[in-house]
Amino acid sequence: MTTAPSDHDTDCSVDHPAGPLGWVDTRLPVVGVFKREYVRFPMPRSLNLLWTVGAMLTVALTLMLLSGLALALHYTPSAADAFASIEEIERRVPGGWLLRSMHMTGASLFVGALYLHLFRGLYYGSYKAPRALLWLIGMTLFAMVLVTAFAGYVLPWGQMSYWGADVAGKAIAAVPGVGPLLERMFLGGDHPGDGTLHRLFVLHFTLAFAVLGVVGLHIAVLHVSGPGTPSGRPPAGPSETLPFHPYFTAKDGLALVVFALAFAAVMFFLPSLIVEPANYRPANPMRTPPNIEPEWYLLPFYGVLQSVPSKLGGLLASVGSILVLFAAPWLDTSPVRSARERPVYRAGMAALVVSFILLGMAGARHVQGVWLYVGQAATLYYFVHFLALMPLVSHREIAAAKRAP
C-alpha cells in the first residue's frame, strides 16, 4: 500500500535551496530550472562578442518598457493635446526629460543592436536547421519592433510625426482595391488626427508587451535548439563548452558596461544623433516640411520605397525586403553554415551591408538626383543577394560536398 507524499517529503536527488524557497521549489521547480538553463547551461567556448548583443537587447527592452509606462501616465493621445503633453513631460514632470531621453535613446540603440544581431545570424548561418524556428520567431520580433518604433515616432505629434503618418497612409492607399479603405482604417479618417493617435498609441502600447512575450518564446526556443557557433559546427563534446555562469555572465556584463557608456554618451552629449529638430515643432497640416523622413533605423526601407517609381511597386518592395528575410532557411540550403568558410557568400554579405547602408543614405536624401540610381542599384542587389546568390552558392556547395571523398 502506498501513501501520498506529505509536505515534509523531499526529493533528495535534486539540489533544492533551503527554507521557504526550497519548499516552493520542490513543488514548482523555478530555482532548479533557472540553475539548469541560466547557470549550468553549456555554451560553446568559441562564442565571440557578437553573442553578447542579446544581453544588450534584453536590458534595453526592459528599460524602454519601464520608461514607456511612466511616460504613458502623462501622455494624452489627441491631436490637440499630444504635443502639449510631451512638452509638459519635458518641462514639468519631475525627471520627465530624463525618462523621455532614456526612451528615445533606448529605441535607437535597441534597433541598432537588433540590426547587429540580425547581421550575426545571416553571417554565421544561424537560420539553418535546427534553428529555423528560432530564426522565424526572431524575424517576427524584428517586424514587430519596426512597427512599434514607427508608432512611437508618430506619438509626439511634431511636424515629422504628422507627416510621417501622412506618408505611411498614402503608401497604404496604393494597395489596389482596398487601399483607400485601409488608409481610412489606419488614419481614422481622411487625414492624420485624433483617430490616428488613438490607434497608434494602442498599437505601440500593446506591441511593446507582445514583443516582451515573443522575446520569452525566442529565448525558450534558443535553449531547446542551442546556440550557434562562429565556425558553424556544434561543440564536439563537453570539453568544448563552458557553463553560462560565471564565464558568459562576465562577458555579457562587460558588454553591458560598454553599452551603458555608449547609451549615456548619446543621451547626454550627442542627442542630435537621434532627434529630428523639426519634431520639436507642433504638427501643422498646412505646412509641409521640405524634407520628410523617418527615424534613421527606418531609412533603408524608406529608401526601397522611394527607389521604385510605382507607389504600389515601392510598397511591395519595401514590405518584401523584410519578408524575404523569413525565407532565408529555405533559400540557403548549403551544408556549410558560417560565412568564415564560404568566401563567395562572405563577399556577398559585405556587399549586402554596403547596399543596406546606401539605401539608408538614399532614403535620407529622398532618392533624388544620383541617389535615385544608387537607391535602385542597392535595392536590386538586396533582392539578388537573397533570391539569387543564396540559392546559387548553396547549389554549388552542395555539389562540392557530393564530390568530396
Write down the residue that cell numbers 554565421 correspond to.
Answer: 124
* DSSP count for the chain of H helices, then E strands: 16, 2
At what angle are helices 370-384 and 299-307 packed, to 10 degrees?
100
The answer on whether 8 is annotated among ligand-binding residues is: no
The answer on whether 245 is annotated among ligand-binding residues is: no
The answer on whether 385 is annotated among ligand-binding residues is: no
* Alpha carbons 168 and 187: distance in angstroms, whole number: 9
The answer on whether 117 is annotated among ligand-binding residues is: yes
Q: How far apart are the first and last CA of the chain?
A: 63
Are the C-beta atoms of residues 223 and 83 closer than 8 Å to each other? no
Cell numbers found for residue 57: 537587447
* Alpha carbons 291 and 304: distance in angstroms, whole number: 17
Q: Which run of H or of E encompasses 207?
A: helix 194-225
Cell numbers found for residue 45: 567556448
The answer on whether 74 is annotated among ligand-binding residues is: no
Buried residues in 182-207 as b, exposed as e (16+ CB within 10 A):
ebeebbbeeebbebbbebbbebbbeb
Known binding-site positions: 103, 117, 204, 218, 223
Known binding-site positions for heme b: 103, 117, 204, 218
Known binding-site positions for a ubiquinone: 223
